[in-house]
Structures are given as structure tokens and as C-alpha cells.
């Protein structure tokens, strides 16, 4: 089974900061990597598919990149409504999640 | 409007059973892969099971032999029968459509989840 290692597990940043999360696969997964946002008490929501494609309606401050084994997810300018836990996912495996908080 | 509504969660003793339901509107469960994903309190996401359009089913090793996924096409509803429940099965269970696009598996949309608590 492919393992997905996500880091950091949590981060605290100021409004307006750029935030970056990484996800590493244990073997080459091409660009088959998706990112989800889960706000407190809510279900996850698909934000980015195929490593870098934004779902319809997702603000452009969110972005993703990478291929092979190394991927990243960024928020260019952190907003208060972005407080959530973010997960990467490949096939039926999810990363451990990154909790994003406001400093 | 696309909507997935789970029900059937609750408190059950170890060794007991529960049947979760997921009523879907806006698309046909028979024409889509449907999965269950769970989240233990304060923990991450764990895929549990999937039922394919042709009826083939798969399970995570942690639930294999204890859980059974099924669907009722006439009611556009997916079920998860959970038997021999363990404390470790305590989680919010989400119903979600699984889409495979050019080899990439994506989970979208998700239901609101139903909480299963296994405790004596």
C-alpha cells in the first residue's frame, strides 16, 4: 500500500501570510493527488484534484503543485475563513492532516 | 441539488450491530461508486468501503468480515451494515461519492456524517 506523509501536522500563521503544506507519497503516484478542506464540525470538501486543478468555486488563493512523490498545497494569503484541517489523498489513502490556525 | 444524508448512527455496546443509511438525491447511486469514510474523534480520515456500479464491493482490512456495504437502487440509498462492533469503530461515518477520472480517485460530494459510538 502507498503511504502518504503530510506535514506539518499543525501550523499557526497570521492573516495575509502564505501557508504551505507538503504531502509525500511512498512511491510514484504521477499527479493522482487531491486536497480536501475540513472546517470544524463539517464534512471534508474537495478543493484541488490532480495535484493542481482547483474545483469550481474554490478561491484562487488556494493552489497545489507537484508530481511523482512530492506535492505541496498553498494558501497565498491566509484568511480567517480558511481555518480548517487540510488533507491530501491518493486512491483510498488520506494523509494525516494539517490543522491551520490563526496566530 | 446534490445531497447525501446519513442516518442510523448512535450508541451501541461492543459486539453489537448498527445499520447506517445514506439517502442520495441529485444523482443515481447505481450509476456511481459509493464509499463510506470514517473519522474517529480528533483523528484523520479513514476509507472504509466502496460499492461499484456493478455491485462489486471492497473493504478496509480493519472492517473486513464485519461490515457489509449494499445499496437499494429503488430508494437511491446506500447502506453500511456494521456487525461485531469494537470500541475502535467509534467515529463519524461519512457517505461519499467516489469518482475515478483518468485513474485519479476523488471523493466528492460528502454527506454530513453520522456518529457511531461503541461503548459499554
Which of B45, B103, B113 has its CB closest to that of A32? Answer: B103
Name the band, by pLDDT with cuts 50, 70 and 90, for residue B101.
confident
Whether the per-residue pLDDT at B103 is higher than 90: the answer is no
Whether the per-residue pLDDT at A100 is higher than 90: the answer is yes
Of the candidates A30, A46, A32, the residue with the CA atom closest to the CA atom of residue A91: A32
For residues A32-57, give the mean pLDDT: 97
pLDDT tens for B2-53 read 999 999 999 999 999 999 999 999 999 999 999 999 999 999 999 999 999 9
DSSP E strands: which ranges in chain A? Answer: 4-7, 10-13, 19-25, 34-38, 45-49, 53-54, 62-67, 70-75, 84-90, 93-94, 98-102
The gap between the terminal CA atoms of chain B, to the nearest Å, is 40
Query: Considering only CB atoms, which residues of chain A are within 8 Å of chain B?
Result: 30-32, 34, 36, 42-46, 49-50, 55, 87, 89-97
Share of chain B above pLDDT 90, in %: 98
pLDDT tens for A48-97 read 999 999 999 999 999 999 999 999 999 999 999 999 999 999 999 999 99
Q: Is the CB of B23 inside 8 Å of chain A's CB atoms?
A: no
Instruction: Please indicate whether, in this complex, the C-beta atoms of A94 and B112 are within 8 angstroms of each other.
Output: no
Amino acid at each position: 500500500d502507498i503511504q502518504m506523509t503530510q506535514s506539518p501536522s499543525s501550523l499557526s500563521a497570521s492573516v495575509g501570510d502564505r501557508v504551505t503544506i507538503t504531502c509525500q507519497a511512498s512511491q510514484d503516484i504521477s499527479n493522482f493527488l487531491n486536497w480536501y478542506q475540513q472546517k470544524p464540525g463539517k464534512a471534508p470538501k474537495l478543493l484541488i484534484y490532480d495535484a493542481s486543478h482547483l474545483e469550481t468555486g474554490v478561491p484562487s488563493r488556494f493552489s497545489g503543485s507537484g508530481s511523482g512523490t512530492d506535492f505541496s498545497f498553498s494558501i497565498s494569503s491566509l484568511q480567517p475563513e480558511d481555518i480548517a484541517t487540510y488533507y491530501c489523498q491518493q486512491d483510498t489513502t488520506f494523509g494525516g492532516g494539517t490543522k491551520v490556525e490563526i496566530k | 441539488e446534490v445531497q447525501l444524508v446519513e442516518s442510523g448512527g448512535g450508541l451501541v455496546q461492543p459486539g453489537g450491530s448498527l445499520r447506517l443509511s445514506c439517502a442520495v438525491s441529485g444523482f443515481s447511486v447505481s450509476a456511481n461508486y459509493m464509499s463510506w469514510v470514517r473519522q474517529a474523534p480528533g483523528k484523520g480520515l479513514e476509507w472504509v468501503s466502496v460499492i461499484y456500479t456493478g455491485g462489486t464491493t471492497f473493504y478496509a482490512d480493519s472492517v473486513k468480515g464485519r461490515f457489509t456495504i449494499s445499496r437499494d437502487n429503488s430508494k437511491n440509498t446506500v447502506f453500511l451494515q456494521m456487525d461485531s462492533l469494537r470500541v475502535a469503530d467509534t467515529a463519524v461515518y461519512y457517505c461519499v461519492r467516489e469518482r475515478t477520472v483518468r485513474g485519479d480517485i476523488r471523493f466528492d460530494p460528502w454527506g454530513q456524517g453520522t456518529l457511531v459510538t461503541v461503548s459499554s
